[in-house]
Homo-oligomer: A and B are copies of this chain.
Amino acid sequence: MFKREKIPYPTVERLPVYYHVLSELKEDNVGIVSSGDMAVRAGVKASQFRKDLSYFGEFGIQGLGYPVAHLIEKIADIMQLNVDHDCALFGCGNLGRAIAGYSGLSRWNFHITRIFDNSPEKIGGKFGGVIVEDVSILPRNLNVSIGILAVPAVSAVNTAQLMVECGIKAILNFTSRNLDPGHGIAVRNVEVTQELAVLAYHIARNF
């Protein structure tokens, strides 16, 4: 039996990549995929893919590969991708608007149901069908677990604090600030500059 407790963090980080690859295969009506093919598509080693899968059961069919539809369901179950997740977006600048307009979110059952900003010009406006609300009059409890932080860096720490105060349990942080919002709050950082730095390193090594 699958024991959720045992799954190491790097595996958890790779599961969405596998899910994404499997979804593309399913769209192409592929029924079975080999670990080698999966590995290439996901950018990992085949042994890594097999190891990651082994944390939640035996799925491979000897000499054939992995049944795509079954594996998608299993990963969706583990990652909670088969239930709807409401998200609150904080910051409605170019980046916030790009996120609000991104169709990929709803394909994975993520829905931006609340948008907050501090600009009078934006408050009351609508993005992706959601009205922009005033961040200074946040309700006591949003009843939303996931917050997306897309405010200017200078407002990042204060806004993250507000998010936690109104019940947000997980923050996707697009600012350049490191956040330390307290115990039990999960944070994922998306930092363009740091990603570019990794690329710069590769270029320096190759040339």
Say yes or no: is A72 at the interface (Cβ < 8 Å to chain B): no
Q: How many copies of the polypeptide does the oligomer hold?
A: 2
Residue A206 lies at the interface, judged by CB distance under 8 Å to chain B: yes
Instruction: Please indicate the chain B residues that have their CB under 8 angstroms from the CB of A16 in the complex.
Output: 191, 193-195, 197-198
Flag whether A130 is at the interface (Cβ < 8 A). no
Chain A contact residues: helix, strand, loop or mixed = helix
Asked if A192 and B172 make an inter-chain contact with CB atoms under 8 angstroms apart, the answer reads yes
Contact A98 B87 (CB under 8 A): no
* Stretch of A54-62, A89-97, A116-124 that contacts chain B: A89-97
Q: Give A160-193 interface residues, CB cut-off 8 Å to B.
A: 169-172, 176, 178, 180, 184, 186-188, 190-193
Bound Cα distance from A35 to B93, whole angstroms: 37
Chain B residues near A186 (CB-CB < 8 A) = 199, 202-203, 206
> Which residues from chain A sit less than 8 Å from chain B, CB to CB?
4, 12-13, 15-17, 19-21, 24, 40-43, 78-81, 85, 87, 93-95, 97-99, 101-102, 104-105, 107-108, 110, 145-146, 148, 153, 169-172, 176, 178, 180, 184, 186-188, 190-207
